[in-house]
Amino acid sequence: MTMTPTMTTVEEPATKAPRRGGAIRYGRAVPFFVVPFGLLFILFYLLPIGYAIVQSLYTVERTGTFGPAREVFGGLEQYRRVFADGPFWASIGRVLLFGVVQVPVMLGLALLLALLLDSGLVKGRRFFRLAFFVPYAVPGVIAAIMWGFLYSPNLSPLKPVTSAVDLLSADFVLWAMANVVTWVYVGYNMLIIYSSLLAIPAEVYEAARLDGAGPARIAWSIKIPLVLPAIVLTTVFSIIGTLQLLAEPQVFRSFSSAVSSTYTPNLTVYSTSSVPNFNLAAAFSVVLALTTFVLSFAFLKFTSRSAR
Amino acid sequence: MRKRLSAVLISALALSACGSGGDDSSDGAAAASCAPSSGPVTITYTTWIPGIENVVKAWNDKNPTIQVKVQTGPNGNGGTYQNFFNQLKAGNPPDLGHIEYDALPSFRVQDGLLDVASCDIVAQAKDQFIPWTWNQVSFGDEKSAWGIPQDSGPMALFYRADLFEKNGIAIPKTWDEYAAAAEKVKAAGGYITNFSQSDINQFAGFTWQAGGRWFANDGQQWTVNLTDDKTKKVADYWQSLISKKLVSTVPPWTTEWDNAYNSSSAWTWVSAVWGANSIMSGAPRTAGKWRVAPMPQWSAGENVAGNWGGSATAIFKNSKHPYEAAKFALWLNTSEEALALLNKEAQLYPATTAGTTYSYLANPVGFYGDQKIYEVFAEAATKVTPDFTWGPTMTSTYANASDGFKAAVSGKGTLSDALAATQKSTVETLKSQAIPVKE
């Protein structure tokens, strides 16, 4: 921005009219591009968050058994309830366990697939690139229903397996869902890592080959370190996604005895808002968002420190 | 997250659009104005009755000035109630909504309903309804009504006549006989029934029959009692069947559940009259093999029925056309034409006294081997005790009980443990909503 006026004055004598017009148009272009985004950002992001925070600071009061509710300012009362809520924190623990196992497995697979596609060992690269990505095009709810049928003890086409091991029981259902999430998102993460692999200049490989490095060595010492930023990015996305798990447990809830109404933090939010207790649900959401923020930020801090 | 945020935003926008939000919804204005509108009106109606479009069409064809626009959704606890609550918060509910008796107190406590007794035409129609169904909408208060009764769910025993006969098992008349039959059915390779682990209403129906009462409201405060002796008796009974693996426990309302009946794995179902529709649509391969008998009794010679479900048509507060809405709702729930259609489309069983005498209820039903099944339910409807009160936060009570029941069928804890935990969490939920409750 500060450059613009300087450039205009310097070049003014040479290309008079068009330049000045250009400068003015450029000046208008800024709001032209920023305003739509800013508006949507405010409308669909800041305003709802602000509204949720405001809601979370209220409690209801009423008189008599059917007295109408009055919303009164309650300070941090709803937050006190959130922190005293055992099942909520248990569910955060549950999704963290889920994330610690599922995210590395999923991203490891995504990295492996991306490296394979990039290695030139695979024929039909374009086909596989698309094939790996296709599950991501299946809506999460549909994917969960589909896998639910595959896991079902009596209806599954894999009945010999599912009737022997109940994949929907308390011992397995978390990992059954991890499998669904992995199936949906592995291709998406692969694509991010793969596009980052494509951006590595060919000279680097050439130099490595001249130094006698084989494909495995190149992958380990050159490709992986160079795509690390992409892996960090996908990890942050995955941490966020894990904490906000909703569609899969919500669908599984209807056909698994092991998935309760407070199985994941977002399910707790959902059940609380259907009481309906919007104020408490808002407080749960705010705490969940903060937890997500802290974890993502801590991960970024950790990786940037270890990179140094 | 994003979905939730946008839902919140929509509420925010709607709230700002209607100015001062929740405050303007207090009494007065809406209640006093159950007067006819001038000119043609369109009213909106949300329900999940299968085939409702055909019933509404019959009305719309004859009433060009009161057109009804029907929206259908999932069943109440499956999502429609959540939508209603969100719409109420946002200030844009439909004029009419389908609300089951057990959920009416929850909507009233959120100040979402119009007292339809303020409409003369409704107050005058009161005597047409079976007294206990009216009690379900008036909560025992003579002067008010929070919906117009639509149907009831008297319970009976659906059973596979062919399998019972083939294996020489007598049709159980008491719960003891039912448990004994369960052993024989198991020996023959089936399950006597499927215990509903996540739809608590079935258990509530059993409790209703046994005389358990979960909630009481003295006007000053609520009493919650999910652990009384009668409830405990029912819980222990089913726990014993579950522990002995005499009942299957596939989740209700799933394809697995349909499969259990369609593949003849489950032999009976103690369910409400509308359950006739569930079996017909879920287990088409068993056509002609089912029959209906009265519900098993706790003591031989008794004749008491439970009730599972039953709904009212409620008018939401701030409806602009309460009179027209009431007029349609009365037609829907009292006229022979509408009741016959509702029975044909969805096997609904009327809540009016006259309704139980209509000729279509005397028809034999092919799926049930041409048995006149509604005669059994008509008898049961008169044997339902009238005074079962529902709590003001049933959504949460059901969710918590369901969590506990699911654990119990997975071998963790018992149904009684689940009810004790639900007792505690229900009191908590009431307190968090500032609803006075006795501890």
Do B397 and B268 share a domain, yes or no? yes
Q: With cut-offs at 50, 70 and 90, classify the pLDDT of residue B247.
A: very high
- How far apart, in whole angstroms, are the C-alpha atoms of residue A270 and residue A266? 6
Q: List the B215-217 sheet strands across, edge first.
A: B215-217, B222-224, B437-438
Do B202 and B240 share a domain, yes or no? yes
Look at residue B379 and tell me if it is in a domain.
Answer: no
Most distant CA atoms of chain B, gap in Å: 69
Q: What is the per-residue pLDDT across A41-59, written as a single tens digit (0 to 9) for each? A: 999 999 999 999 999 999 9
Do B225 and B350 share a domain, yes or no? no
B141 or B30, which is more confident? B141
Residues of chain B contacting residue A241, judged by C-beta atoms under 8 Å apart = none
Backbone phi, then psi, for B154, in 5-degree steps?
-60, 140
- Does pLDDT of A204 surpass 90? yes
Q: Give SS3 for B172.
A: coil
- Does pLDDT of A221 surpass 80? yes
User: Is A274–B393 a contact, with Cβ atoms under 8 angstroms apart?
Assistant: no
Q: With cut-offs at 50, 70 and 90, classify the pLDDT of residue B26.
A: very low
Nearest to A51 by CA among A268, A279, A294: A279
What CATH number is associated with residue B140? 3.40.190.10
Residue type, position A163, single letter: S
Q: With cut-offs at 50, 70 and 90, classify the pLDDT of residue A308.
A: low
Q: Which residue has the tokens 């692999």?
A: A197
User: Is A257–B6 a contact, with Cβ atoms under 8 angstroms apart?
Assistant: no
pLDDT average, residue stretch B113-123: 94
Q: Which residue has the tokens 């209703």?
A: B208
Which of A51, A65, A240 would best serve as a mutation to test chain B binding (most B beta carbons within 10 A)?
A65
Tokens read off for A69: 């509710």
Please provide the CATH number assigned to the domain covering A86-306.
1.10.3720.10
Total Cβ atoms within 10 A of residue B50: 16
Do B198 and B133 share a domain, yes or no? no
- How far apart, in whole angstroms, are the C-alpha atoms of residue A231 and residue B158? 58
- Does pLDDT of B7 surpass 60? no
User: Is A258–B406 a contact, with Cβ atoms under 8 angstroms apart?
Assistant: yes
pLDDT average, residue stretch B184-206: 95
* Nearest CB to A47 within list B1, B12, B111: B12
Specify whether the CB–CB gap between B137 and B148 falls below 8 A.
yes
Total Cβ atoms within 10 A of residue B243: 13
A53–chain B Cβ distance below 8 A for any pair? no
- How far apart, in whole angstroms, are the C-alpha atoms of residue B283 and residue B265? 11
C-alpha dihedral sign at A176, A181, A186, A189: negative
Per-domain boundaries in chain A: 33-73, 86-306
Give the β-pairing of B66-72 and B96-100.
unpaired
**Run of H or E residues at B155:** strand B148-160
Specify whether the CB–CB gap between B194 and B249 falls below 8 A.
yes
Do B204 and B131 share a domain, yes or no? no
Q: With cut-offs at 50, 70 and 90, classify the pLDDT of residue A33.
A: confident
Whole-structure pTM value = 0.86
User: Is B1–A45 a contact, with Cβ atoms under 8 angstroms apart?
Assistant: no
Look at residue B117 and tell me if it is in a domain.
Answer: yes
- How far apart, in whole angstroms, are the C-alpha atoms of residue B426 and residue A277? 13
Query: For the ranges B15-24, B154-163, B207-216, B244-253, which has the lowest average pLDDT?
Result: B15-24
Do B159 and B298 share a domain, yes or no? yes
- Measured distance between the N- and C-terminal CA atoms of chain B, rounded to whole angstroms: 36
- How far apart, in whole angstroms, are the C-alpha atoms of residue A307 and residue A302? 9
Using CA atoms, how far residue B332 sits from A271, B12, B59, B116, B384, in Å, is 32, 35, 8, 15, 23
Using CA atoms, how far residue B303 sits from A23, A143, A178, B384, in Å, is 90, 48, 51, 9
- How far apart, in whole angstroms, are the C-alpha atoms of residue B326 and residue B145? 12
Q: With cut-offs at 50, 70 and 90, classify the pLDDT of residue A148.
A: very high
Q: With cut-offs at 50, 70 and 90, classify the pLDDT of residue B187.
A: very high
Do B318 and B275 share a domain, yes or no? no
**Among all residues of chain A, which has the CA nearest to that of B434?**
A61
The count of structural domains within chain B is: 2
User: Is A51–B8 a contact, with Cβ atoms under 8 angstroms apart?
Assistant: yes
Tokens read off for A233: 């990015």
Q: With cut-offs at 50, 70 and 90, classify the pLDDT of residue A304.
A: confident
- Does pLDDT of B9 surpass 50? no
Q: With cut-offs at 50, 70 and 90, classify the pLDDT of residue A32.
A: confident
pLDDT average, residue stretch B16-36: 47
- Does pLDDT of B19 surpass 70? no
A278–chain B Cβ distance below 8 A for any pair? yes
Q: pLDDT value at position B118?
A: 92
Look at residue B353 and tell me if it is in a domain.
Answer: yes
* Nearest CB to A277 within list B82, B412, B433: B433
Q: What is the per-residue pLDDT across B66-93, written as a single tens digit (0 to 9) for each? A: 999 999 999 888 889 999 999 999 999 9
Nearest to A226 by CA among A195, A269, A247: A195
* Nearest CB to A69 within list B12, B111, B198: B111
Length of chain B: 439
Q: pLDDT value at position B290?
A: 97
- Does pLDDT of A12 surpass 70? no
* Nearest CB to A60 within list B249, B253, B433: B433
Q: pLDDT value at position A248?
A: 95
Do B255 and B402 share a domain, yes or no? yes
Look at residue B380 and tell me if it is in a domain.
Answer: no
Backbone phi, then psi, for A180, in 5-degree steps?
-65, -45
Nearest to B391 by CA among B423, B439, B419: B423
- How far apart, in whole angstroms, are the C-alpha atoms of residue A233 and residue A189? 9
Tokens read off for B149: 């009764």
Q: What is the per-residue pLDDT across B412-427, written as a single tens digit (0 to 9) for each? A: 999 999 999 999 999 9
Residue type, position B201, single letter: N
**Run of H or E residues at B133:** helix B131-138
Look at residue B377 and tell me if it is in a domain.
Answer: no
pLDDT average, residue stretch B337-341: 94
Using CA atoms, how far residue B114 sits from B76, B119, B156, B253, in Å, is 19, 10, 34, 32
Do B243 and B313 share a domain, yes or no? no
A156–chain B Cβ distance below 8 A for any pair? no
Nearest to B74 by CA among B98, B56, B39, B105: B98
Residue type, position A19, single letter: R
Q: pLDDT value at position A228?
A: 94
A155–chain B Cβ distance below 8 A for any pair? yes
Specify whether the CB–CB gap between B316 and B96 falls below 8 A.
yes
pLDDT average, residue stretch B176-192: 97
Torsion of CA B425, B427, B428, B430, to 10 degrees: 120
- Does pLDDT of A205 surpass 50? yes
Q: What is the per-residue pLDDT across A99-123, written as a single tens digit (0 to 9) for each? A: 999 999 999 999 999 999 998 788 8
Residues of chain A contacting residue B256, judged by C-beta atoms under 8 Å apart = 152-155, 255
Look at residue B371 and tell me if it is in a domain.
Answer: no
Q: Which residue has the tokens 């499998």?
A: A179
Residue B75: CA count within 13 A, CB half-sphere: 9
- DSSP characters over A222-246: IIHHHHHHHHHHHHHHHHHHHHT--
Enumerate helices (H) and strands (E) in chain B, giving the number of each: 18, 10
* Sequence-separated (6 or more) residues with CB below 8 Å from residue A37: none
Q: pLDDT value at position A25?
A: 60
- How far apart, in whole angstroms, are the C-alpha atoms of residue B129 and residue B58? 23
Do B146 and B157 share a domain, yes or no? no
- How far apart, in whole angstroms, are the C-alpha atoms of residue B22 and residue A69? 9
Backbone phi, then psi, for A72, in 5-degree steps?
-125, 150
Q: Where are the beta strands (DSSP E) in B331-398?
A: none
- Does pLDDT of B208 surpass 80? yes
Look at residue B258 and tell me if it is in a domain.
Answer: yes
Look at residue B369 and tell me if it is in a domain.
Answer: no
Query: For the ranges A131-140, A297-306, B186-195, B285-294, which has the lowest average pLDDT?
Result: A297-306
Do B79 and B147 share a domain, yes or no? yes
A52–chain B Cβ distance below 8 A for any pair? yes
- Does pLDDT of A15 surpass 50? no
- The boundaries of the domain holding residue B174 are 153-307+388-438
Average per-residue pLDDT for chain B: 90
- Does pLDDT of B129 surpass 60? yes
Q: With cut-offs at 50, 70 and 90, classify the pLDDT of residue B337.
A: very high
* Percent of the residues in chain B that have a pLDDT greater than 90, as a whole number: 78
Do B95 and B70 share a domain, yes or no? yes
- How far apart, in whole angstroms, are the C-alpha atoms of residue B315 and residue B94? 8
Total Cβ atoms within 10 A of residue B216: 14
- Does pLDDT of A259 surpass 70? yes
- How far apart, in whole angstroms, are the C-alpha atoms of residue B429 and residue B215? 14
Q: pLDDT value at position A2?
A: 38
